Chain A
Amino acid sequence: DTAVSQTPKYLVTQMGNDKSIKCEQNLGHDTMYWYKQDSKKFLKIMFSYNNKELIINETVPNRFSPKSPDKAHLNLHINSLELGDSAVYFCASSQGPPPLHFGNGTRLTVT
């Protein structure tokens, strides 16, 4: 059973499009995160939700909007995609503070 699952695994789209990435965790955790890994492998937190409530919102363009319909799901919607948005996006979860359990990522390529 996959603990943190993301869909899709790959996403190729053109500039200006809107896309969504979905994340689900079956660990019963109360906190979920989105991290961005750039081409140099640097991992940076974007958002964190605790029981559907936004608790961390880093300096991220407002084209990125997370949505948590329930504590097991955290989706990421991206409007007006730009070339610089190309990266691997990781969803993660934890029970309160770290450690975090990561999904296997969504590789987003914007052309």
Chain B
Amino acid sequence: QQQVKQSPQSLIVQKGGISIINCAYENTAFDYFPWYQQFPGKGPALLIAIRPDVSEKKEGRFTISFNKSAKQFSLHIMDSQPGDSATYFCAASGGGSEKLVFGKGTKLTVNP
């Protein structure tokens, strides 16, 4: 049972373009939705996170959009750069549990 579904599996974007990664969840008890960025040979690092009381959160070029009724959230990377090339994971937790459930990841490649 996959509690967080992420798409696409891979994404290729030109420099300066917008990268969009989508996630959907099933458990309505989830109340914390982070995105992690992972470079080869490194651990996942927290990029940005949102709670369901807001529909959007922006930090620099990174924006999370959240749709509670549809149980979906997405990551938008504006003005994508080659240095953004990494694997991105959405995740969710909540309902009193400290367990963070991850999506399967999206490998983003930004071409120069």
Chain A residues proximal to chain B, CB less than 8 Å: 4, 31, 40-45, 48, 50, 55-56, 90, 92, 94, 96-105
Contact with A along B21-49 (1 / 0, CB 8 A): 00000000000101010100111111001
Would B98 and A56 count as touching, CB distance under 8 A? yes
Tell me the number of A-to-B contacts counted with CB atoms below 8 Å.
57
Verify B44–A90 contact, CB threshold 8 A. yes
Q: Is the CB of B87 within 8 A of A98?
A: no
| Chain B residues packing against A (C-beta within 8 Å) | 32, 34, 36, 38, 41-46, 49, 87, 89, 91, 93, 97-102, 104-105, 107
Chain B residues within an 8 Å CB radius of A42: 102, 104-105
Report B35 CB to chain A, min CB distance, Å: 11
Please report whether the interface of chain A is mostly helix, strand, loop or mixed according to DSSP.
strand
Q: Is B104 a contact of A98 with CB atoms below 8 Å? A: no
Lowest 9 CB-CB distances: which A-B pairs, in order? Answer: A102-B43, A43-B102, A41-B105, A98-B100, A104-B43, A99-B46, A98-B93, A102-B44, A97-B98
Kindly list chain B residues whose C-beta atoms are within 8 Å of the C-beta of A44: 102
| A41 near B93: Cβ-Cβ < 8 Å | no
> In the complex, A55 Cα to B38 Cα: how many Å?
26
Given A94-B98, A99-B46, 20 additional A-B pairs, CB 8 A:
A40-B104, A41-B38, A41-B87, A42-B104, A43-B102, A48-B99, A56-B98, A56-B99, A90-B43, A96-B98, A98-B98, A99-B34, A100-B100, A101-B46, A102-B36, A103-B43, A104-B41, A104-B42, A105-B42, A105-B43
